Structure 1
Amino acid sequence: MSRLSIEILALLVSCLTCGVFAQQICQITQNLNDVPRAVHSDLYRGQQNFTLSMLQAINKATPNENVFFSPYSTYHALLLAYFGSRGQTEVELTKALSLEWAKNKNHVMRGYTLERSSRISRSKNSPLQFSAADRIFFDKEEEPTECVQQIFHQELAKLDFQNKSEECRVEINNWISNVTKHEITDMLKMGEVDAQTKLVLANAAYFKGQWSNKFDPKDTKKDIFYTSESKQSFVDMMHKRGTYNLALDENLGAYVLEMPYVTSNDNEKESDMSMIIILPPFHNLDGVLAKLTPDTLDDALKEGMAREVDVSLPKFAFEQNLELVPVLRDIGINSLFEEDCDLGEFFTNRLRFGDAKHVAKINVDEEGSTASAATVLFSFRSARPLEPTKFECNHPFLFLIYDYNAKAILFTGIYRDPMTQK
Structure 2
Amino acid sequence: MTHLSLQFLALLVSCLLCGVFAQQTCQIGQHLVDTPRTIRSDLYRGQQNFTLALLQAINKATPNENVFFSPYSTYHALLLAYFGARGQTEAELTKALSLEWAKNKNHVLKGYNLERGTRMSRSKNSPLQFASADRIYFDKDEVQTECVKEVFHQELVSLDFQNKTEECRIEINNWISNVTKNEIQDMLKTGEVDAQTKLVLANAAYFKGQWSNKFDPKDTKKDIFYTSERKHSFVDMMHKRGTYNLALDENLGAYVLEMPYVTSNDNEKESEISMVIILPPFHNLDGVLAKLTPDSLDDALKEGMAREVDVSLPKFAFEQNLELVPILRGLGIDSLFEEDCDLGDFFTTKLRFGDAKHVAKINVDEEGSTAAAATVLFSFRSARPLEPTKFECNHPFLFLIYDYNSKAILFTGIYRDPMTQK
SS at match of 2:195: coil
Q: Does 1:8 align with 2:9?
A: yes
Match of 2:31 in 1: 30
Cα shift at 1:29: 4.2
SS at match of 1:40: helix
Q: Distance in 1 between matches of 2:135 and 2:287?
A: 37
1:355-375, CA deviations, whole angstroms, 9 ceiling, x for partnerless residues?
22322221111112499x997
SS at match of 2:271: strand
Q: Does 1:253 align with 2:253?
A: yes
Cα shift at 1:122: 1.7
Using the TM superposition, name which of 137-146 and 122-131 deviates more. 122-131
Q: Distance in 2 between matches of 1:404 and 1:81?
A: 26
Cα shift at 1:36: 2.0
Report the AA paired with residue 213 of structure 2.
N
Match of 2:377 in 1: none
Q: Does 1:300 align with 2:300?
A: yes
Cα shift at 1:144: 1.5
Aligned residues: 410
Q: Distance in 2 between matches of 1:77 and 1:192?
A: 18
1:14-58, CA deviations, whole angstroms, 9 ceiling, x for partnerless residues?
1112112432434x34335x2223111100000000000000010
Cα shift at 1:135: 0.6
For residues 269 and 159 of structure 1, do their structure 2 counterparts lie closer, same or farther at Cα, with a shift above 3 Å needed? same
Q: Distance in 1 between matches of 2:370 and 2:286?
A: 20
Q: Percent identity?
A: 81
Report the AA paired with residue 386 of structure 2.
L
Cα shift at 1:266: 5.8
Report the AA paired with residue 256 of structure 1.
V
1:271-291, CA deviations, whole angstroms, 9 ceiling, x for partnerless residues?
211100000111010110010
Cα shift at 1:190: 1.1
Cα shift at 1:3: 1.2
Q: Distance in 2 between matches of 1:241 and 1:376?
A: 19
Q: Does 1:416 align with 2:416?
A: yes
Cα shift at 1:125: 6.3
Report the AA paired with residue 403 of structure 2.
D
Match of 2:275 in 1: 275
Match of 1:55 in 2: 55
Cα shift at 1:414: 0.3
Report the AA paired with residue 253 of structure 2.
G
Aligned partners of 2:120 and 2:131 also within 8 Å: yes
For residues 313 and 67 of structure 1, do their structure 2 counterparts lie closer, same or farther at Cα, with a shift above 3 Å needed? same
Using the TM superposition, name which of 115-124 and 281-290 deviates more. 115-124
Aligned partners of 2:224 and 2:233 also within 8 Å: yes
Aligned partners of 2:32 and 2:107 also within 8 Å: no
Q: Distance in 2 between matches of 1:319 and 1:240?
A: 26
Report the AA paired with residue 60 of structure 1.
K
1:107-126, CA deviations, whole angstroms, 9 ceiling, x for partnerless residues?
00010000000000025463
Report the AA paired with residue 7 of structure 1.
F
Report the AA paired with residue 199 of structure 1.
L
Match of 2:174 in 1: 174
Aligned partners of 1:37 and 1:111 also within 8 Å: no
Q: Distance in 2 between matches of 1:21 and 1:376?
A: 63
1:1-22, CA deviations, whole angstroms, 9 ceiling, x for partnerless residues?
1211111111112111211243
Match of 1:384 in 2: none
For residues 266 and 299 of structure 1, do their structure 2 counterparts lie closer, same or farther at Cα, with a shift above 3 Å needed? closer
Report the AA paired with residue 52 of structure 2.
L
The TM-score normalised by the length of structure 2 is 0.94
SS at match of 2:240: strand
Q: Does 1:394 align with 2:394?
A: yes
For residues 7 and 324 of structure 1, do their structure 2 counterparts lie closer, same or farther at Cα, with a shift above 3 Å needed? same
Q: Does 1:101 align with 2:110?
A: no
Q: Does 1:207 align with 2:207?
A: yes
Aligned partners of 1:375 and 1:390 also within 8 Å: no
SS at match of 1:289: helix
Q: Distance in 2 between matches of 1:184 and 1:82?
A: 26
